[in-house]
Amino acid sequence: MQLIDGSKIITEACVRAGADVYVGYPITPSNWFYAYAQKRFPLFLAGPDEISVLQWMSGFSAAGRLPVTATSFPGLALMVETLNMAHMMELPMAIIVTQRLGPSTGSATTGAQGDLLLLRGAISGGCPMPVFCPSNFEDCWNLAYESIQVAIRYRTPVVLLTSKEMVMTHKSFDVSALPEIKKVERETAKVELPYQSYRSGADGVPPFVPLGDETYQVRLNASTHGNLGLIQKGSAEAMANTRRLKDKLEKNIQSFTFYELDEEAGADELIVSYGISSDAARDAVTEIRRQGKKVSLLVIKTLLPVPPAILDILERYKKQVFVEENLPGLLRELIYGQARRKNIRSVNKIGSMIAPSEILNEFAV
Amino acid sequence: MTPPILSRKDMPFCPGCGHGIAVKNLAKALEEAGYDPLDAIIVSDIGCAGLVDSIFATHTIHGLHGRAPALALGVSLGLIDPDKKVIAIQGDGGATIGLQHLLEAARRNVDMTLIVLNNLLYGMTGGQMSGLSTQAFKAGHLIEDDTPPFDVVQLMHEAGAAFSCRITAPGEFKAHFIEALATSGFSLIEVACLCPSHGVKKLKELADVAMGDLKLAYERAPARAEYRETAPLFGLEKPVATANRSTIKERLGLVIAGSAGGGVQSAARLIANAGILSGLHVTMKGEYPITVGAGFSAAEVILSRKPIHYTGLESPDVVVAVTEDGMAKARSRKKEHTTLVLDSKLREEAFPNAIYGDFQKEGGKQGAALYAAAFWLVREGVLEIEALLEAARKHKHSEALVELIEKAGTVNSER
């Protein structure tokens, strides 16, 4: 066993997976990523602000590198326009978001789960963007790898959504139980001639060729564009290209659907959680069962786009309790909107992690 | 003879627009300097200047308003073949909203050329003034704003650009482009442009309202991206087996509280490591205000026989406080069953059952927290002194820590 933290595990996993550039702007509680990245990434750059950070990363990505950054809400807010650009240009990159208490600057050293719906709505037009959320150190390792893998495979920015308590708490942990990570190789794309930067195959993902290529002319574009990568307004080709941004992720989502389902036979009640609240939910489930009540647990690790497999599980349970560290219940809202539903309950809290006892209260007779 | 840089002869701009003249000069310069189209990457901004993509046979990337220089910086430092030429093109509006990006690229002297096509206004949105609109131009437009413009050529030079130049003369000016392209490092060319729709419509009037020609050079090494080999932060080896040396039954939650600079965080980390060496599962987390050098500093440690999921500590078994700042934390964290271990100077009647010791006196300002915690943990048999010493020996200040722990242990043996 060794004393280790989530920031260290995620940083190491990203580099092993093939990330080679870290561009950072310091912000609490993401600073440990910055510190570890300085030691570990092949190239480290300090940006002057978060807009620059994501623009530089987009340039690196377009040139064929795999850039990573870490930030929290105030930085993420500045990044939103460029996140749209990277999404539209189809540039692979990973953005680690360490949630902290808002609104606004809030409390920099207090954790939270308050940014899910910002990410859901970040892309204008509502296009999805993969968002993974680790619930423990194993997830930190595996989902950091998946972030890089999915970013490259589907040519998209990916968000790894963490929280202060996930990345700044030390725990004794046996790293030898983690699977080896193989570098995600970026094969030179096999393309049909003439090459068009946004012409895709059956999987909806255009083959990636970096800027500066010797053979193919690469044209990338943040405005509505046709297959060639040049601005097109309102053409059928351009609209198809825009629709493809949504379709390419939704039709491939099975390959990046991650969750943990602990089902108890005969249970009609399901606790649903994610991220930093998951461990309290695990402890609560153990206690509820010890008291002789039946309950199942779902920990969601692919938050966006919402995987159909998650919806299938939810449909099997009449009663559900969503556990998350924010006021309105953002995951619950993502799934069910604001409609009133008698059998969907929430355990919410801000200012500190939800404790197992607070979940148990919801189950007290 | 290399293939032509432009793929079309017709320009996407309004008839008479100055951007067309500038773009043709750039293309000629690239051809004369021997560039193949795929040797160049045009990074374009938003606005009229951003319409250039479609006429270039080079690589093109069309980004956001004002961000082309930042995007180009990333492309330049990310290039697999650094000999490729990165050229960003933006207007005066783009240069205004993203001025930080220009300054940063110049400061780092990133190998790229930035062309600012300055038609003195925002053309696409109706002719509004930009940060590069001159006083003379604004006066002619009944704008009640005589704020002087940014001189981007001067600014880039001051920031560290290898080459910066402004062109207001009409006609062929490709020689300046050739000079900029040949520069190793950051080069800027600002070109004063006509805007037949909203701005200056005649070349002879341009010289009256634009800032004058200027050329500045600054010899310095360009930024280079060095992709280094690095060592893993940790390996995936099997951990060394540890003996079970603790007397705790199930779980113990400890809060250590003191003041910033009092060694609270490193004490907690040392105790957590000693816990691992004793065969326990542990968690450790810090709590401090955002000003890490002032105010309180507190840390939570959980030692447990079983794996720990939830890392919160609702009801600590013991709270160690060694300063007034820490005392405030102790008050807020104390539950009915909590044992308090306090420095004797903190004696107060609210806690009749607290355990007191001269921790500040014996451990010193930076050692009091570890001294107090080690004293109590060893006394209660939670951790053996040997486990604490073993953890301390791995620390960079091992000598002082070992001495402190031995001293804390001696107090116990004397009791």
- pLDDT reported for residue A328: 95
Please give the Cα distance from B25 to B28 (Å, whole number): 5
- SS3 label, residue A121: helix
Please give the Cα distance from A255 to A140 (Å, whole number): 18
Are B34 and B127 in contact, with CB atoms under 8 Å apart? no
Please give the Cα distance from B74 to A93 (Å, whole number): 13
Are B327 and B372 in contact, with CB atoms under 8 Å apart? no
Pairing of strands B296-304, B281-287: antiparallel
- pLDDT reported for residue A187: 75
Query: Which residues on chain A are in Cβ contact (under 8 Å) with B283?
Result: 169-172
Comparing C-alpha atoms, which of B210, B161, B189, B203 is closest to residue B29? B189
Comparing C-alpha atoms, which of B298, B93, B53 is closest to residue B193? B93
- pLDDT reported for residue B40: 98
- How many angstroms separate the CA of residue B235 from the nearest CA in chain A? 8
- The stretches in chain A having pLDDT less than 70 are 188-189, 365
CB contact (8 A) between residue A222 and residue B289: no
- SS3 label, residue B213: coil
Domains and CATH numbers, chain A: 2-177 (3.40.50.970), 187-235+246-254 (no CATH), 257-363 (3.40.50.920)
- pLDDT reported for residue A190: 73
DSSP A48: S
Written as tens digits, the pLDDT of chain B (415 aa) is 689 999 998 999 999 999 999 999 999 999 999 999 999 999 999 999 999 999 999 999 999 999 999 999 999 999 999 999 999 999 999 999 999 999 999 999 999 999 999 999 999 999 999 999 999 999 988 778 889 999 999 999 999 999 999 999 777 789 999 999 999 999 999 999 999 999 999 988 998 999 999 999 999 999 999 999 999 999 999 988 888 788 898 999 999 999 999 999 999 999 999 999 999 999 999 988 777 678 899 999 999 999 999 999 989 999 999 999 999 988 899 999 999 999 999 977 777 789 999 999 999 999 999 999 999 999 999 999 999 999 999 988 899 999 999 999 887 655 4
Comparing C-alpha atoms, which of B318, B234, B248, B320 is closest to residue B281? B248
Question: Residue A221: which of B62, B237, B283 has the nearest Cβ?
Answer: B62
Are B41 and B73 in contact, with CB atoms under 8 Å apart? no
Comparing C-alpha atoms, which of B348, B372, B347 is closest to residue B254? B372
Question: Residue A355: which of B225, B269, B312 has the nearest Cβ?
Answer: B312
Tell me whether residue A365 is exposed, middle or buried, using C-beta atoms within 10 angstroms of its C-beta: 0 to 12, 13 to 18, 19 or more.
exposed
Reading the block at residue B22, the tokens are 């500038």
Closest residue, chain A, to B270 (C-alpha):
A3
Tell me whether residue A29 is exposed, middle or buried, using C-beta atoms within 10 angstroms of its C-beta: 0 to 12, 13 to 18, 19 or more.
buried
| Alpha-carbon torsion (B311, A26, B112, B184), positive or negative | negative
Are B373 and B251 in contact, with CB atoms under 8 Å apart? no
pLDDT one-digit tens code per residue, A323-334: 999 999 999 999
Reading the block at residue A59, the tokens are 């340039």
Please give the Cα distance from A350 to A24 (Å, whole number): 28
- How many angstroms separate the CA of residue B386 from the nearest CA in chain A? 18
Domains and CATH numbers, chain B: 18-217 (3.40.50.970), 251-414 (3.40.920.10)
Q: Can you tell me which residue has the tokens 């930093």?
A: A276
DSSP B6: B
- pLDDT reported for residue B413: 56
Are B132 and B120 in contact, with CB atoms under 8 Å apart? yes
CB contact (8 A) between residue B310 and residue A355: yes
Question: Residue A169: which of B61, B63, B285 has the nearest Cβ?
Answer: B285
Question: Residue A357: which of B43, B236, B314 has the nearest Cβ?
Answer: B314
Reading the block at residue A36, the tokens are 């570890």
Interface A:B, Cβ pairs < 8 A: 225
**Phi and psi torsions of A16, nearest 5°:** -60, -35
Query: Which residues on chain A are in Cβ contact (under 8 Å) with B228?
Result: 42-43
Are A248 and A99 in contact, with CB atoms under 8 Å apart? no
Q: How far out from the chain centre does Cα B273 lie?
A: 31
Question: What does B46-101 look like in DSSP terms, one character per residue?
Answer: SSGGGGGGGGBSSEEEE--TTTHHHHHHHHHHH-SSTTSEEEEEEEHHHHHHTHHH
Please give the Cα distance from B97 to A51 (Å, whole number): 12
Closest residue, chain B, to A28 (C-alpha):
B290
Question: What does A126-174 look like in DSSP terms, one character per residue?
Answer: -----EE--SSHHHHHHHHHHHHHHHHHTT-EEEEEEEHHHHS-EEEE-
- SS3 label, residue B191: strand
CB contact (8 A) between residue A280 and residue B63: no
Please give the Cα distance from B73 to A59 (Å, whole number): 7
The residue type of B84 is K
Q: Residues 6-45, chain A: which have Cβ within 8 Å of B?
A: 8, 11-12, 15-16, 20-21, 23, 28, 36, 39-43, 45
- Whether the link from the prior residue into B196 is cis, omega within 30° of 0, is no
**Phi and psi torsions of B217, nearest 5°:** -125, 150
Q: How many CB atoms lie within 10 A of CB B414?
A: 6
